[in-house]
Amino acid sequence: MTAPIQKDNRVHIIQGEYYVADNKDVMVTTILGSCVAACIRDPLAGVGGINHFLLPGTPGRTKAGEAERMGVHLMELLVNGLLKRGARRDRLEGKLFGGARTVRGHNDIGRHNVEFAERFLRDEGIAHIGGSTGGLHGRRIQYWPVSGRARQILLASTVEVERPAIAPAPAVVSNAGELELF
């Protein structure tokens, strides 16, 4: 997992990352399409965190190197990170964001991500107190983990597409005149 980008009291996380904070001035941001971010906190302990996952994942069935992008892995890391900072499981509350339908077709990945996250909160006894999921627009999320305040900005440029075509890798000619394929 890469380290989140931090500047002053702003932290930006990307797919496969999570962040836990107990500093009331920290704001965490992320940009979501079909991915989901879970914002979970313990209001009495003054600690909270956020994650950003690509797919739900299946316990014990995720390939090596893929686990860090999966919800099943990142939800556990986030909850354990909160508990290590003094949170109590019975006081946790969560908000869910993301899960947009960004690709038209028979498999709505965003909906599957949201269903997984809602089921995880329910199964773990974490109160689901809000958020914003689904729809056709991506979102930029700003989250203050200690207070639980969240701000969402819908991205107007999200476009639902048919299944994206896989373009062939571009050929690049190096300075020496050799051909490199990526």
| Residues with catalytic roles | 35
Q: What is the dihedral of CA 71, 76, 80, 83, to 10 degrees?
A: 90
Instruction: List C-alpha distances in Å: 157 to 36, 60, 136, 137.
Output: 18, 37, 10, 8
Tokens representing 159 are 């476009």
Reduced to 3 states (helix: H, G, I; strand: E, B; else coil), residue 95 is strand
DSSP state of 34: S
In degrees rounded to 5, what are phi and psi of residue 56? -60, -50
- Segments of the chain assigned E as strands: 5-7, 10-12, 18-21, 27-32, 36-42, 47-51, 93-98, 127-133, 138-144, 149-155, 171-173, 179-181
In degrees rounded to 5, what are phi and psi of residue 159? -125, 130
Q: Are the beta carbons of 137 and 78 closer than 8 angstroms?
A: no
